[in-house]
Amino acid sequence: MYGNAQIDSKDKAKSLTDGEDPIKLAEFEARITRGEKIEPKDWMPAAYRKQLIRMIEQHAHSEIIGALPEGTWITRAPGFRRKLALMAKVQDEVGHAQLLYSAAETLGKTREDMINDLINGKSKYSNVFNYPAMTWADTAIIAWLIDAGAIINQVTNSKGSYGPYCRALERICSEESFHLKYGHDNVVFLATGTAQQREMVQDALNRWWIPIMHFHGPPDKVSQHTEVLMKWKVKMATNDDMRYRFLDEYVPKIWDLGLTIPDPNLKKNETTGVWEYTEPDWEEFKRVINGDGPCNKERLQVRRWAEEKGAWVRRALLKAESKYTIPLA
CB of 286 to other proteins, least distance (A): 27
236 C-beta neighbours (distance < 10 Å), count: 19
The CA distance from 129 to 138, in Å, is 12
Residue 267 bridge partners (DSSP): 276
Secondary element (H or E) of residue 262: none
CB of 327 to other proteins, least distance (A): 12
Q: Please say which residue, 17 or 135, places its beta carbon nearer to other proteins.
A: 135
CB of 82 to other proteins, least distance (A): 6
CB of 74 to other proteins, least distance (A): 5
Q: Which amino acid is at 292?
A: D
Q: Please say which residue, 23 or 320, places its beta carbon nearer to other proteins.
A: 320
The CA distance from 252 to 231, in Å, is 33
CB of 302 to other proteins, least distance (A): 7
Binding site for other proteins (CB under 8 A): 64, 67-68, 71, 74-80, 82-84, 87-88, 90-91, 94-95, 97-98, 101, 136, 189, 193-194, 196-197, 302, 305-306, 309-317
Q: Please say which residue, 193 or 252, places its beta carbon nearer to other proteins.
A: 193
Nearest to 198 by CA among 212, 183, 214, 187: 187
Q: Which amino acid is at 248?
A: D
Q: Please say which residue, 81 or 267, places its beta carbon nearer to other proteins.
A: 81
Q: Which amino acid is at 68?
A: L
Nearest to 72 by CA among 146, 116, 131: 131
Q: Please say which residue, 144 or 246, places its beta carbon nearer to other proteins.
A: 144
Residue 35 DSSP label: T
The CA distance from 201 to 264, in Å, is 19
Q: Please say which residue, 67 or 146, places its beta carbon nearer to other proteins.
A: 67
Measured CA to CA in angstroms, residue 275 lies from 11, 112, 271 at distances of 31, 42, 11
CA within 13 Å, CB half, 210: 13
CB of 78 to other proteins, least distance (A): 4
